[in-house]
Each structure stands twice: as C-alpha cells, then as structure tokens.
C-alpha cells in the first residue's frame, strides 16, 4: 500500500515538474526572441537553467571556476545524461558557445533557444556536413570565442567514458586556446538514459586546471589524450575504450 502510494506521488511530482520545465522552455524561447543582445539572451537562459534544475530538486555546485582563463578557452566535459548541457549552462559564465549536434536545431522550442544563444551546430551524418560544421567552429575558435564541447559526442546505457572525437582539440589548437577538462559528477544518477524524470540530489561540476598545447606534445591528438586521461582520473566510471 505504502509502496503504491509512494509510486503515485512520485509520478505526480514528475508530471508536475516536467510540465513546469516545459513551460520554462516556452518562456525562454519567447524571451530570447525578444531580447536584442546575445549576452542578455545567454544570461537569461543561464538563469532559467538554474531555476529548472532547482524545480527538479537538483543542487548544482561548481568547483574550480578560477581555472577558467579570462580570455577564450575550450571547455570539454564528460557526457552521460540529457542534463549535462543544462547543468553546464547553469554553472559556466554566459560567454560560452555550446557545440551541439545538428539534430538539436530542429527540435521544437529547444532549437529556437539554442540558435538564439549562439550555439554552433555540427552535422555528423555526412562527410560534407562534418567539414562545414568543423570550419564554422574553427572560425569561432580563431576569433577567440569560448566554446563548450562534449567530445564523446553522445551517450547511451553503457556506463563509462567513451573515446573522444578530435574536433574540440583541433579547434583549441587552431585558436591557440587552452583546454579546460571538466568533470560532471552525478548527472547520470540524477537522470539515467532510460529515465524521463530526474531524481533530486546533488550534481558537481569540477573544472580542472587548463591544459595547453605545450603540455600535451604540441599536437591535437596529444591534447585529446591528455584531456581524456585527466577527466577519467576524476571519474568513478570504467574505461570502455
């Protein structure tokens, strides 16, 4: 009896939280269409991301923000949950552009918000699309824009840190920018790949010391391997690669 009541209450809570979360996204889309300046739109979405996480009972703590350089840099983080992007948007300063898959641009409401906050879209479904997306990201890096990558590219039900794609590290090398390896703790527990309703709890974003080309053998491959090694060392996850 108590278990059934608990399950019903949890379902009700989840439905209400998801409804509020959806409403916040609609509000975000309307406001980002109205606000004329990119920095205003980014600050607004950052605030709404924090509100949304609080609604789900998720406390986000950022450690090591002092490791972010004042100039342009590339943040690379592990990716294990749909919460990861929202968590980093809430934790990082508004100046960052997120590099995301092209499919996200066509998602209702979400695509509008991502476009208006200056996200960069990469099409991995075709050779030409990959190259066009890579060129745009390289141009942003060479202009000194701060970028956020999830170098694993995706996540699934298999736990562990996947192999890293090279794009984030080539962009950092071309832009002469340091990499800031970043570890997200607790997002997978809060929202596993097979779940729709986040579980209340704590998520920690840990920004490690910046990694330069010189410290990684002056190659994008060395930068990738060293970054992955540092993130893996801070995770409890296995290494399927």
State the pLDDT at residue 195. 83
Instruction: Give domain status of residue 239, yes or no.
Output: no
Q: What is the mean pLDDT of residues 182-191?
A: 95
The torsion defined by the Cα of 35, 144, 92 and 155, in degrees rounded to 10, comes to: 100
Instruction: Give domain status of residue 156, yes or no.
Output: yes
Residue-wise pLDDT for 221-231, tens only, equals: 999 999 999 99
Q: What are phi and psi of 223, to 5 degrees?
A: -65, -45
Q: What is the mean pLDDT of residues 18-26?
A: 80
Nearest CA-CA partner of 207 in 59, 53, 78? 78
Rounded distance, CA 131 to CA 39, Å? 28
- Contact between 180 and 68 (Cβ < 8 Å): yes
Instruction: Give domain status of residue 168, yes or no.
Output: yes
Q: What is the mean pLDDT of residues 109-125?
A: 83
Instruction: Give domain status of residue 46, yes or no.
Output: yes
Q: What's the domain count of the chain? A: 1
Residue-wise pLDDT for 97-113, tens only, equals: 999 888 887 787 788 88
Higher pLDDT, residue 103 or 87: 87
CATH code for position 44: 3.40.1130.10
Instruction: Give domain status of residue 240, yes or no.
Output: no
pTM for the full predicted model: 0.89
Instruction: Give domain status of residue 103, yes or no.
Output: yes
Instruction: Give domain status of residue 45, yes or no.
Output: yes
Residue-wise pLDDT for 48-68, tens only, equals: 999 989 988 899 999 999 999
- Residue 192's domain comprises 2-234
Instruction: Give domain status of residue 154, yes or no.
Output: yes
- First-residue to last-residue Cα distance in the chain: 45
Asked whether the CA dihedral 156, 57, 98, 179 is positive or negative, the reply is negative
> How far, rounded to the nearest angstrom, does the alpha carbon of residue 220 sit from its chain's CA centroid?
21
- pLDDT above 70 covers a percentage of the chain that reads 91
Rounded distance, CA 96 to CA 81, Å? 20
Locus of tokens 């071309």: 174
């Amino acid at each position: 009896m108590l278990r059934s009541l608990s399950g019903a209450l949890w379902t009700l809570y989840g439905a209400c939280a998801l409804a509020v979360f959806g409403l916040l996204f609609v509000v975000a889309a309307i406001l980002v269409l109205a606000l004329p300046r990119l920095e205003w739109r980014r600050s607004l979405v950052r605030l709404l991301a924090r509100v949304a996480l609080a609604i789900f009972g998720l406390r986000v703590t950022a450690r090591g923000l002092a490791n972010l350089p004042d100039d342009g840099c590339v943040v690379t983080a592990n990716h294990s949950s749909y919460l990861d992007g929202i968590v980093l948007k809430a934790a990082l300063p508004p100046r960052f552009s997120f590099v995301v898959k092209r499919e996200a641009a066509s998602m209702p409401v979400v695509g509008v918000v991502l476009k208006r906050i200056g996200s960069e879209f990469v099409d991995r479904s075709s050779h030409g699309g990959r190259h066009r997306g890579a060129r745009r990201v390289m141009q942003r890096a060479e202009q000194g824009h701060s970028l956020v990558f999830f170098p694993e590219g995706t996540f699934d039900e298999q736990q562990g840190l996947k192999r890293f794609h090279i794009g984030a590290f080539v962009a950092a090398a071309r832009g002469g920018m340091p990499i800031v390896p970043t570890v997200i703790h607790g997002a997978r527990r809060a929202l596993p790949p097979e779940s729709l309703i986040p579980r209340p709890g704590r998520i920690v974003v840990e920004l490690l010391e910046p990694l330069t080309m010189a410290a990684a053998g002056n190659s994008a491959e060395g930068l990738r391997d060293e970054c992955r090694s540092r993130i893996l060392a801070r995770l409890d996850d296995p290494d399927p690669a």
